[in-house]
Amino acid sequence: MPENGIPSVLTGALQFGIKPGLERITRLLELLGNPEKRISAVHIAGTNGKGSVCAYLSTILACDGKKVGVFTSPYLERFAERIRIIDGKEGAVRLSEDDSFGEIPSSKLDELSERVGIAQKKMLAEGMEHPTEFELITAIGLLYFAEESVDIAVLETGLGGRLDSTNVFDNPVATGICAIGLDHCGVLGSTISEIASEKAGIFKKGAPAVCIDPDEMILPREMKEDVRLTLIKTAEEKGSSLTFISTGSAAQKARFGEDGKMYFELDGISYSTCLNGRHQVSNAALAVALAGICGASQEAIKEGISLTRWKCRCEILSSDPLVIIDGGHNPQGAESLAQTLNDVIGGTLKGRKIRIVCGMMADKDVKGVYEAYRNGGLVIAEAVTVRPDNPRSLDPANLSEIINDVYNNKVQTLEASSPEEGVLLALERSKADKMPLLITGSLYLAGQIRGYLKGII
């Protein structure tokens, strides 16, 4: 099997790009015996927070004694991260201690990939289009969950919702929508209403839908109302009951402990989480509501929130010097990260110079991300720009130019030949001057650097 455990059936599939539509995945699953029809599922969509909600919910359900399949994307360090099973409370505890626990075994991944490859060849022989990489991965995941007889699966959409290859369930247990923003506009639509409509395409007749209240999303007021109206309209059209989850002042009242955890209350119940950031209060509230629909006990909900881990989301890797890694890649995520960084270290970062290692995809709103950092009070004194290992990545020199354009040429920029070289350079400089170090800009970059960095800190 190739590096990072990527199945051979996916070799070359990346060239088929992103092609929204359900025809290919529907036929592929038919040829595999429709594994999705043997799975109870909770389906999650949104722009920011999908992975966190999936992590919270799957851990809660495991603490409730369920065998839970978890399908997320993209992977950060190992391909197998995308497909895992958390079997009961013991599995949840093991996962909190080892982030590789429960991942699909390589032997099983090989076996299922071969079977999916055979089905793919049959599709092509029928004259159908070649399935995309994500469609093949979805098929592998669903086949695994069905054959392992999971009690429930928690699935994160890849892109959008309505035409995403995960949207193959006729009767999910529930659907959830987290924060929505302007991202992937070239595929999902140029307006917030169009994007919200695509996300809400996962709603199904008879399946309860739970959404973070648009008032708690990082959007201009008029966009929040557009999102609300679009979600209500789509739910009515689909025949799905819709509930908006509002946390009130819970996020503002959240406190950050010296133990690296965040403490907050929902409906009079106290929770603690290792996922830092006030935006995580809304994500946790969405997971709590979905867990309630699934019949989880309050004890399991509270324990699950506490045990949840989700790497590269404002993850503190070192305290001396302070090193934080985050995969934020759009303005909404950058705004949340700026606030979280100020909160995590008690407000002492605001106005204080920081060093960053950054790399981004060229198709993202790069300028908007750095404007959000600037507006959030992050004083970037030095930026080491790198190119993540992805064909869509932005040239480091261009990234340096954008950063200094936003920060009025007040940032010292250095371009490194590789992410590893860049983070090593930045780490040595932060060890010397104790300047906080932030690695950010892309989940691809975070995944590429995390393992390397943990080995040298």
CA distance 445 to 362: 13
pLDDT at residue 113 is higher than 70: yes
Closest CA to 169 of 59, 290, 50, 25: 25
HSE, CB side, 13 Å, CA atoms: give it for residue 108: 16
HSE, CB side, 13 Å, CA atoms: give it for residue 189: 15
- DSSP 8-class letter at 179: B
pLDDT at residue 133 is higher than 50: yes
CA distance 316 to 127: 50
Residue 1's pLDDT band (cuts 50, 70, 90): very low
The percentage of residues in the chain with a pLDDT greater than 70, rounded to a whole number, is 94
For residue 4, the model assigns a pLDDT of 60
3-state secondary structure of 412: strand
Beta bridge partners of 439: 325, 357
Summarised one tens digit per residue, pLDDT across range 202-241 is 999 999 999 999 999 989 999 999 999 999 999 999 999 9
| Inter-residue contact 359 to 325 (CB < 8 Å) | no
Structural domains of the chain, with CATH: 3-307 (3.40.1190.10), 315-454 (3.90.190.20)
For residue 19, the model assigns a pLDDT of 75
Residue 279 to residues 126, 200, 287, 335, 338: CA-CA distances in angstroms? 47, 21, 13, 10, 11
Beta bridge partners of 319: 322
Instruction: Compute the average pLDDT of residues 372-393.
Output: 92
Beta bridge partners of 356: 383, 438
Summarised one tens digit per residue, pLDDT across range 315-374 is 888 888 989 999 877 898 898 888 888 887 655 566 678 999 999 999 889 999 999 999
Terminal C-alpha separation, the chain: 30
What is the phi/psi pair of residue 265, to 5°? -125, 140
pLDDT at residue 456 is higher than 90: no
CA distance 300 to 271: 12
For residue 329, the model assigns a pLDDT of 78
Summarised one tens digit per residue, pLDDT across range 143-192 is 999 999 999 999 999 988 999 999 999 999 999 999 998 875 556 777 99
Strand segments (E) across 257-392: 262-266, 269-273, 315-319, 322-325, 353-358, 379-385
Beta bridge partners of 273: 262
What is the phi/psi pair of residue 108, to 5°? -70, -40
For residue 17, the model assigns a pLDDT of 58
CA distance 180 to 81: 24
CA distance 161 to 169: 12
For residue 447, the model assigns a pLDDT of 86
3-state secondary structure of 255: strand
Structure token digits, residue 413: 């920029």
Tell me which of 442 and 101 has the higher pLDDT.
Answer: 101
- The pTM score is 0.90
| pLDDT mean across residues, the chain | 92
Angle value at C-alpha 17, between 16 and 18, nearest 5 degrees: 125
For 212-269, the DSSP string reads E-GGGSSS-HHHHHHHHHHHHHHHHHHT--EEEE--TTHHHH-EE-TTS-EEEEETTE
| Inter-residue contact 446 to 81 (CB < 8 Å) | no
